[in-house]
């Protein structure tokens, strides 16, 4: 994979069409976690949107808030987590709803039907003592009118759609009897069983070999195209994001620091953190010695006072006269390329 995508995205994007309505719009999302050692300000003023048929990548280091964002949207935050501000408007078949304010009963109806998620570790996400085919029919029974033999037929059809060999036999398999790659495909089958409008894939290739990674990502891309489904790909792998995403959202320490079409972001990153991420990412033509590590650590998000720019203490362009103020969101190159920085590149 390369970090320099061609100008044409692998997926048809609606991002540049202002007439296309937004499927999901997240505004000023704040999330905190209460721990024994203090309150962790995990997300602060997170903003991004996704349109129907678009694939958006959310990238950043571990601890940047990528998965917390996904869990918040799905309504499956840890009990210690609390949404303290913001909104997440999602366009359902009937009306736009705020995912952050919907009661659990309503979210249950949305999850699996219009909003689905592929979790990072399929072996822990799947029920180890229930056959995988039954786990697919559980979703179908909850969200469709299918019953009896029709449930089994649809589940086998989903197993075949994710290219699992001998789907009739695999229907009766337990997760422990399958490889990591097959378990990941089972997760995809469950997530797509009811043809959702939005799929969130949280590190869907973690722990898979390179060949299986490509197979899984091509499968998600193909199914998204067939179903005109939007997708959010959460990953720390910039090469993966550059190949499969229409647009990239870069996160650092709970902030969105840059958002742009994929080609624009990799050709001309504007935030110093984005540029450092790209410089630290292996590429086929790069020697190991050419990689430039990002020095320093993420700030302590439990601290009483956190710098307005959470990257400031790791940034070569840090200027206390400017950077100790809240970063402005500035537009660069085009209206859909935004960067939160006082001294952009």
| Domain co-membership, 203 together with 153 | no
Whether residue 119 lies inside any domain: the answer is no
| Domain co-membership, 212 together with 181 | no
Whether residue 283 lies inside any domain: the answer is yes
How many other CB atoms are there within 10 angstroms of residue 121's CB atom? 15
pLDDT tens sequence across 171-186: 999 999 999 889 989 9
Whether residue 132 lies inside any domain: the answer is yes
Q: Which of 169, 193, 217 finishes a domain?
A: 193
Q: Which of 145, 166, 193 finishes a domain?
A: 193
State both tokens at 189: 């089958």
Residues of the chain scoring pLDDT < 70: 1-20
Which pLDDT value is given to residue 136? 96
Element (DSSP H or E) covering residue 264: helix 262-267
| Domain co-membership, 8 together with 65 | yes
| Domain co-membership, 189 together with 210 | no
Half-sphere exposure (Cβ direction) of 292: Cα atoms closer than 13 Å: 7
Contact 89, 62 (CB under 8 A): no
Tell me if residue 284 falls in helix, strand or coil. coil
Annotate 4-71 with DSSP letters as a single string: S--SS-SS---TT-TTSPPSEEEEEEEEEEEETTEEEEEEEEEEEEE-TT-EEEEE-STTSSHHHHHH
| Domain co-membership, 176 together with 314 | no
Whether residue 329 lies inside any domain: the answer is yes
This prediction's pTM? 0.91
Whether residue 238 lies inside any domain: the answer is yes
Question: Tokens 């601890």 label which residue?
Answer: 63
Which pLDDT value is given to residue 327? 85
Contact 236, 203 (CB under 8 A): yes
Best CA proximity match to 342, nearest among 320, 315, 324, 322: 322
Which pLDDT value is given to residue 34? 95
| Domain co-membership, 162 together with 215 | no
Q: How many residues does the chain have?
A: 345
**Domain total in the chain:** 2
CA–CA dist 3, 241 (Å, integer): 9
State both tokens at 15: 């991002």
Please report, for the domain that includes residue 317, its CATH number.
3.40.50.300
| Domain co-membership, 57 together with 91 | yes
| Domain co-membership, 164 together with 301 | no
Contact 292, 280 (CB under 8 A): yes
Q: Which of 170, 193, 216 finishes a domain?
A: 193
| Domain co-membership, 207 together with 340 | yes
Whether residue 281 lies inside any domain: the answer is yes
| Domain co-membership, 148 together with 269 | no
User: Containing domain of residue 159, as a range?
Assistant: 124-193
Whether residue 262 lies inside any domain: the answer is yes
How many other CB atoms are there within 10 angstroms of residue 293's CB atom? 8
> What is each CA distance from 277 to 3, 58, 255, 296, in whole angstroms?
11, 13, 15, 13
Contact 207, 187 (CB under 8 A): no
Annotate 220-242 with DSSP letters as a single string: HHHHHHHHT-EEEEEES-HHHHH
Which pLDDT value is given to residue 71? 96
End-to-end CA distance of the chain: 25
| Domain co-membership, 20 together with 162 | no
| Domain co-membership, 145 together with 46 | no
């Amino acid at each position: 994979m390369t970090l320099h995508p061609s100008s044409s995205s692998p997926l048809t994007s609606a991002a540049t069409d202002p007439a296309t309505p937004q499927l999901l719009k997240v505004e000023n999302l704040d999330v905190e976690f209460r721990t024994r050692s203090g309150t962790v300000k995990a997300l602060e003023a997170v903003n991004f949107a996704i349109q129907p048929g678009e694939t958006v990548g959310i990238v950043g280091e571990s601890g940047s808030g990528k998965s917390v964002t996904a869990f918040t949207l799905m309504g499956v935050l840890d009990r210690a987590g609390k949404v303290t501000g913001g909104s997440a408007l999602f366009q359902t078949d009937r009306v736009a709803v705020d995912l952050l304010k919907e009661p659990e009963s309503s979210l249950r109806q949305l999850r699996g039907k219009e909003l689905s998620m592929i979790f990072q570790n399929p072996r822990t996400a799947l029920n180890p003592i229930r056959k995988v085919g039954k786990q697919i029919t559980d979703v179908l029974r909850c969200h469709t009118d299918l019953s009896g033999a029709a449930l089994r037929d649809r589940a086998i059809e989903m197993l075949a759609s994710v290219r699992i060999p001998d789907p009739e036999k695999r229907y009766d398999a337990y997760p422990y009897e399958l490889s990591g790659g097959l378990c990941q495909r089972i997760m995809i089958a469950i997530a797509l069983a009811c043809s959702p409008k939005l799929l969130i894939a949280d590190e869907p290739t973690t722990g898979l070999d390179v060949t299986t990674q490509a197979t899984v990502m091509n499968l998600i891309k193909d199914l998204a195209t067939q179903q005109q489904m939007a997708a959010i790909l959460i990953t720390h792998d910039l090469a993966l994001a550059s190949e499969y995403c229409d647009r990239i959202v870069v996160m650092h320490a709970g902030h969105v620091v840059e958002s742009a079409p994929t080609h624009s972001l990799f050709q001309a990153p504007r935030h110093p953190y984005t540029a450092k991420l790209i410089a630290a990412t292996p590429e086929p033509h790069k020697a190991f010695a050419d990689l430039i590590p990002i020095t320093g650590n993420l700030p302590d998000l439990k601290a009483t006072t956190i710098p307005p720019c959470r990257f400031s203490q790791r940034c070569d362009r840090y200027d206390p006269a400017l950077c100790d103020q809240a970063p402005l969101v500035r537009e660069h190159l085009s209206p859909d390329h935004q960067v939160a920085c006082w001294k952009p590149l």
